[in-house]
Amino acid sequence: MHFFASLLAGAVLARATAVPSSESNGPTIHKFASAITDGALRYVNNSGICETTPGVHTMSGYVDTSSTVHTWFWFFAARNAPETAPFTLWLNGGPGCSSMIGLFQENGPCTVNSDQRTTTLNPNSWNTVSNMLYIDQPTGTGFSYGTDTIDSTYAAAPAIWQVLQTLLSSPEFSAYQSREFILATESYGGHYGPEFAEYFEIQNHLITAGKLKGVQINLGALMINNGWIDPLIQNKAYITFAQNAPGYGPLVSASTVQRMNNTYFESNGCLAQQQACYNAGNSSSSSSVCSKADNFCGSLFSAAVGNRDPYDLRQDSSEAFPPEYYVNYLGLSSVTTAIGATSSKYSECPDAPYELFARTGDDARTLLPQLGDVVDSGIRVLVWAGDTDIICNWVGNQAAVLAMQWSGKAELNATPLTNITLSGKTIAAVQNVNNFSFARVYAAGHEVPAFQPEAALAIFKQIIAGQPLHSV
């Protein structure tokens, strides 16, 4: 099911090893072998692509965690105080969708112009206040290439940990080892975020106990934008949201709502199948049980969307905004050569990585218990959602976090949504309890920073400052 999953066929990604000579005026590709992971780092310094702010350091290239796995990364130092700014990892969802989506359409240093050949600096880029790292994962996504065996959120966590270990143990990134680490993610990030954060914390404890050699990740905050967290709750929210999207009205007819209710509540319907998936846990039968539930419940999403854009109810299915100019831009040989991308072709949301997850029914599994654990660990957590998104709508996101088991559950449920403003303009309705915040962002679709860039940056600043969400 869903989340940016496109009909694009997965490209065969061939490894190119040629390094331009000094006479060619091409970039120099550097190499570093890591003593901790036995991986390798290949990169281009200061390509001049996208981030053109004078003096801002950039790196792009590959983390080779094995001879068959080559993970693409693109790093942008902070425009302000990079030597003290936090270190943020941005991951898009899918599963199997490139984080270049976030870089070029949402919160990166530039946007691509309509000519699909030039860029414009983004004044609301998150690297204004943080060092930013974008990674394409799992293997086969975006510019990453090699042999992909990752078939679940749980399998993806050790892989991303290994990538980060290679990076942070290298001379190029060692200065960031002690920085506060922010994990920011979107859509299927409702799965990735809780599991990755919990896995990072487990690994950190093992390192502290002397049972594992590695670099601790100083995880300070987790941000989940329009996340797919708990399918049982969020599939039901399709009905609620379609019947009356708050502020926008009904999305479908009363008869369609009735059919959706029947699909969810009928004997062996979505509710029963989702519960069976949860009950199956990690048993040998769970993949088939959960895959069946996911396929069955997908009709609720389809019914809620109709002919609308699933990522913005105000648009039709042509998806006019945000535009896809960046995809053609990343197809220019001048660009790929400059940034050191050696895979044969950029693939935004290829089928192959997604299909591996589909076979295990990963989409139908809940990550709500892990999210509760992360919040209770004291890490700052924000779940925020644009209120015109259908696919991971804010009503479902809020229902999930209200059901989350954690020490502040009762207080969160008793805390009303309160509007906050930016320069006098209402931007969001929020709930703050201890180290947890929820936000409904007004007039924003699935990719919140694309629709409300100023508001998104303001909220990001508050999270990295350790503040509850508030008016500015």
Rounded Cα gap, residues 421 and 425, in angstroms: 5
pLDDT digits (tens, 9 = 90+) for 379-415: 999 999 999 999 999 999 999 999 999 999 999 999 9
Is 328 buried (19+), middle (13-18) or exposed (0-12) by CB count in 10 A?
middle
433 contacts 414 by C-beta, under 8 angstroms: no
- The letter for the amino acid at 233 is I
Rounded Cα gap, residues 293 and 360, in angstroms: 11
CB atoms within 10 A of CB 123: 11
Q: What pLDDT sits at residue 168? A: 95
Mean pLDDT for 298-305 is: 95
Q: CA gyration radius for the chain? A: 21
Q: What pLDDT sits at residue 32? A: 47
Share of the chain above pLDDT 70, in %: 91
Is 446 a residue of the active site?
A: yes
193 contacts 200 by C-beta, under 8 angstroms: no
The closest of 283, 284, 289, 271 to 361, measured between CA atoms, is 289
Q: What pLDDT sits at residue 30? A: 54
Question: CA torsion sign, 136 to 137 to 142 to 146?
Answer: positive
Catalytic residue among 144, 152, 187, 286: 187
Q: Cβ neighbours of residue 11 under 8 Å, at least 6 residues apart?
A: 343, 344, 345, 347, 350
Rounded Cα gap, residues 450 and 446, in angstroms: 9
419 contacts 404 by C-beta, under 8 angstroms: no
The pairing of strands 131-135 and 69-76 is: antiparallel
Q: Name the least confident of 100-104, 343-347, 356-360, 451-455.
A: 343-347
Q: Cβ neighbours of residue 83 under 8 Å, at least 6 residues apart?
A: 175
User: Which helix (H) or strand (E) is 360 found in, with range?
Assistant: helix 351-360
For the chain, domains (ranges, CATH) are 22-232+326-352+363-464 (3.40.50.1820), 239-322 (no CATH)
Catalytic residue among 64, 130, 389, 437: 389
The pairing of strands 69-76 and 58-66 is: antiparallel
User: Is pLDDT at 93 greater than 70 in this prediction?
Assistant: yes
Q: What pLDDT sits at residue 40? A: 81
Q: Cβ neighbours of residue 316 under 8 Å, at least 6 residues apart?
A: 307, 308, 309
Model pTM score? 0.91
Catalytic residue among 2, 70, 191, 446: 446
Is 115 a residue of the active site?
A: no
Is 38 a residue of the active site?
A: no
User: Is pLDDT at 79 greater than 70 in this prediction?
Assistant: yes
Q: What pLDDT sits at residue 36? A: 35
